[in-house]
C-alpha cells in the first residue's frame, strides 16, 4: 500500500469520525431540546389543569350562590307557610318534633317506626297525605298571607283544599330535592352555603320526615334521595362541630382547687 493510499484512508477515517462526532453532538443537542420542550409541555399541561380547576371552583361557587338565592326565594317562603299550617294543629306539631336528627338516616317507612307508633303513623298519614281535618277557614288565609293563593273562587270545597295541601307538600319536597341535587352531584360547593343554610335545611327534613319516609317503602325505588344524602352529610358535620365545641368548652372550664388534707 502506497503512502498516498494510507493518507487517503486516514483522511477518510478522520472524516467519518468527525461525522460521527457531529452526529452525536447533534443528537445530544436535539435530545436536550426535546427534553426542554417536554418540560415546557408538562408545565403547560399543569398550568391548564390548574386553570380548569380554578374555573371549575369559580363555577361551583357561582352555582352555590345561585342555589342559595333559590333556597331563599322558593323554599323558605313555602317553609313558613307549611310551618304555620302545622303549628295550627298541635298534635301534628308535637309528632314532627319527636324526630331525633341523630337517629334519622334512611327516611323510609321502616325507620319511621322508631319515632311513631302505628296509630301515630296513621294520624300523620291522614294529615299529610289526605289532609283530613284541615279547616278551610284556617288554611285559606295562610295561603294568602304567604303569597300562595290557590283559588280565586269565593267558596272552596273540602276536596279542593285537600288537593292544594297535598300539592303544596309534594311541590315543596321536589324543590328541596332540586336544591340538594346541585350539592350532592358536586355542581355547587356546599361549603359556600353550609353555615347560612344548614340549620333551616335540617329543620325542614325533621319537620317533613314523615312525608318523605311515607314515599320510601321500597329500597330499590326511593324518592328525595339527594335531599336525604345532603341531610346526612350536613347532620354529621353539625354533630362533629358540636362535639368539637363541647370539647373546647370543657378544656376552658377551670379545674376546681383540690382540698389539702
User: pLDDT, tens digit, for every residue of 141-170?
Assistant: 888 888 876 655 555 677 777 788 888 999
pLDDT tens for each residue of 54-64: 556 788 999 99
The C-alpha cell that represents 186 in the structure block = 358536586
Residue 43: is its pLDDT beyond 80? no
Q: Where are the alpha helices (DSSP H) in the chain?
A: 3-70, 76-87, 90-96, 109-112, 118-128, 136-145, 158-184, 194-207, 209-215, 225-252
Contact 216, 222 (CB under 8 A): yes
Q: Fill in the DSSP letter of residue 192.
A: T
Give the number of C-alpha atoms closer than 13 A to the C-alpha of residue 134, restricted to the C-beta side.
Answer: 29
Tell me what the mean pLDDT of segment 29-51 comes to: 68
- Looking at every residue in the chain, the average pLDDT score rounds to 84
Q: What global pTM score does this model have?
A: 0.75
Rounded to the nearest 5 percent, the helix, strand and coil shares of the chain are 75, 0, 25
pLDDT tens for each residue of 187-217: 999 999 999 999 999 999 999 999 999 999 8
Contact 142, 81 (CB under 8 A): yes
The C-alpha cell that represents 108 in the structure block = 323510609
| Confidence at 247, pLDDT banded by 50, 70, 90 | confident
Percentage of the chain exceeding pLDDT 70? 76
Of 100, 258, 88, give the one whose Cα is nearest residue 165: 88
The dihedral sign for the CA sequence 151, 153, 158, 160: negative
| Confidence at 251, pLDDT banded by 50, 70, 90 | confident
Residue 45: is its pLDDT beyond 80? no
Amino acid at each position: 500500500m502506497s503512502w498516498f493510499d494510507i493518507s487517503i484512508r486516514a483522511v477518510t477515517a478522520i472524516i467519518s469520525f468527525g461525522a460521527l462526532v457531529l452526529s452525536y453532538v447533534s443528537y445530544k443537542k436535539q435530545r436536550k431540546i426535546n427534553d426542554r420542550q417536554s418540560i415546557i409541555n408538562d408545565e403547560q399541561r399543569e398550568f391548564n389543569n390548574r386553570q380548569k380547576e380554578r374555573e371549575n371552583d369559580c363555577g361551583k361557587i357561582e352555582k352555590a350562590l345561585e342555589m342559595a338565592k333559590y333556597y331563599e326565594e322558593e323554599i323558605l317562603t313555602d317553609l313558613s307557610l307549611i310551618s304555620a299550617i302545622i303549628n295550627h294543629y298541635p298534635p301534628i306539631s308535637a309528632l314532627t318534633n319527636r324526630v331525633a336528627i341523630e337517629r334519622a338516616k334512611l327516611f323510609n317507612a321502616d325507620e319511621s317506626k322508631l319515632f311513631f307508633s302505628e296509630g301515630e303513623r296513621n294520624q300523620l298519614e291522614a294529615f299529610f297525605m289526605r289532609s283530613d281535618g284541615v279547616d278551610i277557614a284556617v288554611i285559606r288565609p295562610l295561603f294568602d298571607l304567604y303569597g300562595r293563593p290557590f283559588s280565586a273562587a269565593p267558596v272552596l270545597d273540602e276536596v279542593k283544599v285537600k288537593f292544594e295541601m297535598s300539592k303544596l307538600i309534594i311541590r315543596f319536597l321536589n324543590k328541596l330535592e332540586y336544591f340538594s341535587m346541585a350539592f350532592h352531584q358536586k355542581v355547587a360547593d356546599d361549603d359556600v352555603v353550609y353555615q347560612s343554610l344548614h340549620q333551616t335545611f335540617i329543620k325542614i327534613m325533621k319537620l317533613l320526615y314523615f312525608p318523605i319516609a311515607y314515599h320510601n317503602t321500597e329500597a330499590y325505588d326511593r324518592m328525595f334521595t339527594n335531599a336525604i344524602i345532603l341531610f346526612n352529610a350536613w347532620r354529621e358535620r353539625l354533630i362533629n362541630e358540636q362535639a368539637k365545641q363541647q370539647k373546647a368548652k370543657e378544656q376552658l372550664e377551670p379545674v376546681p382547687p383540690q382540698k389539702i388534707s
